[in-house]
Amino acid sequence: MNHEALAAHIRAVPDFPRPGILFRDITPLLASPPAFTAATAALAERILVHRPSALVAIESRGFLFGAALAQRLGLPLLLVRKPGKLPSATTAIEYQLEYGSDRLEIHVDAVQSGSRCAIIDDVLATGGTAAATAELVRSRGGEVACLAFLLELDALGGRNRLGAATVESLLHF
């Protein structure tokens, strides 16, 4: 399935969750087995080049792709979650969203020192979430092998917040 066909499975929803936000809804892609499989396969190929030793998936839609990719690539799946969700000892970081601000947590023992982490999420918007996750990974002694997204909202310039880290986005809007 080519990129145009994949992009046709992303629905644009105006004014969600707030007026002025054009929300990119991935649920049609998830509901299409050929599209979800093609997207996962293409992302896996793009990630593999960076020789990751673990995947770090961001709550919540990043978990969907993170889980599929971890199985496909045979890599450990580490979770970055919203506050109060992870049961064991955590470390946290504050970050800005396109709409609001929040905090992210990771288990203190999740990242092996020196491991090459590929950070996974569905959408790269302003880059605040991804930048915070990269900082969390580095604060635990991990390297950021790459950051991979199903889609990137180019006009928001999110990749500029990610410094020299490699960004792999399958689709651009």
Taking the C-alpha atoms of residue 33 and residue 91, their distance in angstroms, rounded to an integer, is: 36
**With binding defined as CB under 6 A, does residue 121 bind ligand AMP?**
yes
CB closer to ligand AMP, 43 vs 124: 124
Taking the C-alpha atoms of residue 122 and residue 129, their distance in angstroms, rounded to an integer, is: 11
Taking the C-alpha atoms of residue 29 and residue 26, their distance in angstroms, rounded to an integer, is: 5
Q: Can you tell me which residue has the tokens 């605040």?
A: 128
| Spatial contact of 108 and 139, defined as CB atoms under 8 Å apart | no
**With binding defined as CB under 6 A, does residue 40 bind ligand AMP?**
no
**With binding defined as CB under 6 A, does residue 127 bind ligand AMP?**
yes
**With binding defined as CB under 6 A, does residue 126 bind ligand AMP?**
yes
Q: How far is the CB of 172 from ligand AMP (least distance, A)?
A: 13
Binding site for ligand AMP (CB under 6 A): 21-24, 58, 61, 97-98, 121-130, 153, 158
